[in-house]
Amino acid sequence: MAALAAVSGLAGCGRDEPKTTTAATGTAATTPAEPASTTASSAACTFSGASEAANGGGDAPTRLLTDVRVGAHGCYDRVTFELKPQTGEADGPVAWKASYEPAPITEDGSGRPVQVKGTAFLVVTMSATGADLSQEAAPATYTGPASIEAADATRIQQVRRTGDFEGVLTWVIGLDKKRPFHVSTQGSPARVIIDVGD
């Protein structure tokens, strides 16, 4: 597990299993594929990240958002976006971009101002949507809230959807201040994971 933590650029600071809030159910959940470190709680807490824009996933096809989770993991706060392929497509990577943008935050498409808590705004865009547009009824694949706050998160003030327009899904992570971040991805199911540390 220490090797996995090193790959993700993080070293945890406690033995407790991390807790996240799942937006779809509003219940506390643990994520086995995103394990807690077994580093002793007395060890120094470290986080490896940067504040420059980052992107990944290349030209991956449009995916369907199914869940958003926000929670505290000791040394860092985490936002996890979980996605699935569109009907008839194979599972695979998700195209994403994350960058800090100045206020005011605006809604995709309409350009209307959107209030997001915090003083720094990490904008995450993905080649994804919250409804399966390949089906005639376009059923929603994400039924959770458009605004999420986690009581145990100290860095993240709010996570808010600001766009689901023409195959581009946009969520803004409002932070107490501009902080380094690290983005990783996992599969089965596909996830884009944003960690924000000190």
Rounded to an integer, the average pLDDT of 175-190 is 96
Domain with 158 in it: 50-196
Tokens of 36: 């807690």
Long-range (24+ apart) CB contacts under 8 A made by 81-85 are: 81/124, 81/126, 81/128, 81/171, 81/191, 81/192, 81/193, 82/189, 82/190, 82/191, 83/126, 83/128, 83/189, 83/190, 83/191, 83/192, 84/141, 84/189, 84/190, 85/61, 85/190
Domain count, the chain: 1
Calculate what percentage of the chain has a pLDDT beyond 70.
78
| Residue 17 pLDDT | 34
pTM metric for this prediction:
0.79
**CATH number, position 72:** 2.60.40.3500
Mean pLDDT of 154-161: 97
Quote the pLDDT of residue 40.
37
pLDDT of residue 110: 87
pLDDT at 44: 67
pLDDT at 43: 58
Q: Is residue 167 part of a domain?
A: yes
pLDDT of 20 higher than 70 = no
